[in-house]
Amino acid sequence: MSVYVIVAAGGQGTRLGGETPKQWLPLGARPMLGHTLSACAAAPDVAGLVVVVPESDIARAEQLCASLDLPCGWRVVAGGARRQDSVANGAAALPPEASVVLVHDAARPFVTVDVIRRVADAARDHGAAIAAVPVHDTVKRVEDAGERRWSLGSVPREELFLAQTPQGFRRDVFDEVVALGHRAEDATDEATLAERAGHRVEVVAGEPGNVKVTTAHDYVEAVRRVHGKSPGPLDATAVARPRLRIGVGYDSHGFDVTRALKLGGITVPDAPGLSGHSDGDAVCHAVTDAVLGAANLGDIGGLFPDTDPAWKDADSLALLREAYARVRAAGYAVENLDVVVVCRRPKIGPIAPSIRERLASALHCAPGAISIKGKTPEATPALADALVVHAVALLTDG
């Protein structure tokens, strides 16, 4: 068996942000593509690599291949407009003796010799094979209803696998795949074309670690894997930096002993309530203003005016949920929240865990992302008859 691997690095994929196509992002001392090529070349059955890159990257890719001291032959060719065009260009560079052809994504740098061997053996024996991993999470079919999504029920996952690369083909099958690719609509992978050509594609075990580096998070994880536990400084220009937004909220309410105390979405027994048009929940109000302010979406008074009878005695946690839906629609999510409650009573420490839970549920974040601290108004008698809240929220795009 003479196995050749076409490494598809034709994409200009800059979804990670920055100007650098992902295959050129550094992972340790080498670009991602260098890891992928070394990993493919390490498989004993692999006799050669065909690296497909954009025309403008050919010299750079040749330099990289030369520097890697690969234990097999290699060639670099220019890619095409679509994935299947790039693969066809790679196919044209295969030597006649290539009896099994694997296609592998440049953005899967952690492929192992075992996975390559399994795919190559199955392709040799059965014509076509892909590496894939089973789906472990419960899978939901979802209806997208604009602002919200609704679950339509679970999809049986026993039949569901996530396709990885390499995908492998006996040479005769691969030639059919390439021919079909010339005239077919865009195909997301080569196995799809083999299936369309009427071939059965064997599914062999992939590996969870054989990830495709697609998002900035994937990239940071990949850097960690390469560096071990202590990642070195990242190339800040290469990684998409999250958009960070900070917001501050403030509220103060006087006490109203005729009302129950609502604070951070919970009812606090044996404590005087707070005055106000809504339920008087000053923690929710300050947090609402912090998250709205961070996203520059106005403030609670503008969204829910206290002149509007609709908000009389309103549940302030529901108002926070409503405001946060707007923050999410603007593309942001809470990273963390810090809240200070200045009051003589109630004592905040004992009720802080419950408040954190309630706020976390409204903000779809972990309770650990929320801090609540109590302060007594020492030496500020004017604050003795009020409850004052300061909140600072950090949002990221997510």
Site residues for Mg ion per CB under 5 A: 251, 285
CA distance 51 to 30: 16
Question: In degrees, to the nearest 5, what angle opens at C-alpha 394 toward C-alphas 144 and 391?
Answer: 115
Q: Left (φ > 0), alpha (ψ -120 to 50) or beta: where does 293 sit?
A: alpha
Nearer to Mg ion, 308 or 397 (CB): 308
Nearer to Mg ion, 314 or 370 (CB): 314
216: Cα separation from own chain's centroid? 7
Q: Are 375 and 341 in contact (CB under 8 A)?
A: yes
381: Cα separation from own chain's centroid? 49
Amino acid at 132: A
Tell me the C-alpha to C-alpha distance, in Å, between residue 98 and each of 45, 92, 118, 141, 174: 11, 12, 17, 42, 11
Q: How far is the CB of 9 from Mg ion (least distance, A)?
A: 56
Q: How far is the CB of 286 from Mg ion (least distance, A)?
A: 8
Helix (H/G/I), strand (E/B), else coil: 355: helix
Nearer to Mg ion, 285 or 358 (CB): 285
In the Cβ-directed half-sphere of 138, how many Cα atoms lie within 13 Å? 6
Q: How far is the CB of 316 from Mg ion (least distance, A)?
A: 8
Of 130, 102, 314, residue with least CA distance to 204: 130
Which residues lie closer than 8 Å to 155 by C-beta, 6 or more apart?
A: 139, 140, 141
Nearer to Mg ion, 108 or 285 (CB): 285
Nearer to Mg ion, 304 or 332 (CB): 304
Peptide bond into 346 cis (omega under 30): yes
Q: How far is the CB of 253 from Mg ion (least distance, A)?
A: 6
Nearer to Mg ion, 40 or 286 (CB): 286
Residue 304 buriedness (CB in 10 A; 0-12 / 13-18 / 19+) = buried
Q: How far is the CB of 289 from Mg ion (least distance, A)?
A: 9
Residue 256 buriedness (CB in 10 A; 0-12 / 13-18 / 19+) = middle
DSSP run (H or E) holding 263: strand 244-263
Residue nearest to Mg ion (CB): 285
DSSP run (H or E) holding 224: helix 216-227
Question: In degrees, to the nearest 5, what angle opens at C-alpha 44 toward C-alphas 41 and 48?
Answer: 45
Nearer to Mg ion, 256 or 335 (CB): 256
Q: How far is the CB of 248 from Mg ion (least distance, A)?
A: 15
The total number of residues written for the chain in this structure: 398
Q: Are 133 and 164 in contact (CB under 8 A)?
A: yes
Q: How far is the CB of 301 from Mg ion (least distance, A)?
A: 8
Nearer to Mg ion, 101 or 389 (CB): 389
Q: How far is the CB of 268 from Mg ion (least distance, A)?
A: 16
For residue 89, the tally of other CB atoms under 10 A from its CB is 19
Q: How far is the CB of 293 from Mg ion (least distance, A)?
A: 14
> What are the backbone angles phi and psi of residue 211, rounded to the nearest 5°?
-80, 155
Nearer to Mg ion, 98 or 387 (CB): 387
Nearer to Mg ion, 214 or 275 (CB): 275
Q: How far is the CB of 251 from Mg ion (least distance, A)?
A: 4
> What are the backbone angles phi and psi of residue 27, rounded to the nearest 5°?
-125, 100
